[in-house]
Structure 1
Amino acid sequence: MKKLMRVPKTKNLLFSLIFLATASLFAQEPFEKSVVITKTDKSLQWRPCPEFMPAGCGMAVLHGDPGKKNADIFFKVPANAEIPMHTHTSAERMVLVSGELEVTYEAEESRILKEGTYAYGPAQKAHKAKCGDSPCVLFIAFEEAVDVFASDR
């Protein structure tokens, strides 16, 4: 007759603890919900831009808290609007969603962004822009809290 092997009690205890720890991971709250938003979504809450920005300018939060790190926004300006020289505390990653936008960063040549163009703006680097003949909507992902400061540079 074969003799059954017994697992020492300490191994049983260790296995039980690992099992319970792993099981608790799956018992946590459900994952955060995904987000899908278009530039014309009726649920967007467009807020006015700071006073030094052009009339008709608006910003809408897409995801995150603009007072904290890693917030995403839509930024829109009317056709032919000029966005004055300004800076942000944060670097910004952008994609032009609609329109055509001429962007000029301090000490750099102007660049034309067309729909679908990606651009990166370093933190604290002054820049300005001009929207073309149709309204512009820009997606911006901020690494730090969302802010904007008029610049005389």
Structure 2
Amino acid sequence: MKIGLMILALLSLIATALAQSGDMDVVQNLAADKFQKVPGAPECLTAAVEQGDPSKAVVFLLKATAGCSVPWHYHTANEQMMLVSGTGRVEMKDAKPVDLHAGGFAYAPAKHVHKFTCVGRPCEFFLSSDAAFDIHYVDESGSEIPPEKALAKKK
């Protein structure tokens, strides 16, 4: 059931993207964006496809509520992130956390473990993936775990 809902949500994002994909120019204001939940991501995160197709290369604009945290994870594609507003704490595995502010940039090569937390107030940021977008959560030892376990509320 959960996998079916994730697939349905991803298909919805892809359908939105197909209207914007290809080598067409894209010039639009924020009001035109259609934000949706991201399959397999925390509920506090929504995304709008700016250009591309999540099953290929894509550029998203994401919104995160204050305190929203995406636990340790990696992507099979290279990922670039640029903060638009708020403060986003980016933690790369085996490195000190860095608080990014508007205009701050982060790059995570394919399969590089990292996490993100929106600190203080809501955040907005662009995220670019150079291949199909996916998210693989890992535990403290680096072993892959299912989204349900990664996103479960800590007691």
Same fold (TM over 0.5): yes
Is 2:68 the counterpart of 1:75? no
TM-score computed with the length of structure 1 as normaliser: 0.71
1:46 to 32, 35, 40: 35
Contact 1:54 1:77 in 2 (8 A): no
**1:24 maps to which residue?**
none
Question: What is the match of residue 62 of structure 1?
Answer: 50
Task: Please give the TM-score of this superposition, normalised by the length of structure 2.
Answer: 0.70
> Could you tell me how far 1:49 is from its partner in structure 2?
2.2
What is the aligned residue count? 119
Structure 1 match to 2:90: 103
Rounded Cα–Cα distance in structure 2 between residues aligned with 1:118 and 1:45? 24
Query: Percent of aligned positions with the same letter in both sequences?
Result: 32
Question: Displacement of 1:56 after TM fit?
Answer: 2.5
Instruction: Say which structure is richer in strand.
Output: 2
On the 8 A contact 1:104/1:127 being kept in 2, the answer is yes
Instruction: Kindly name which structure, 1 or 2, has the bigger radius of gyration based on alpha carbons.
Output: 1
For residues 73 and 49 of structure 2, the distance between their equivalents in structure 1, rounded to whole angstroms, comes to 20
The 5-angstrom pairing of residues 13-32 of structure 1 reads 32=23
Q: Any unmatched runs of 5+ in structure 1?
A: 1-31
Separation in 2, partners of 1:150, 1:103 = 15
Contact 1:101/1:129 (<8 A) preserved: yes
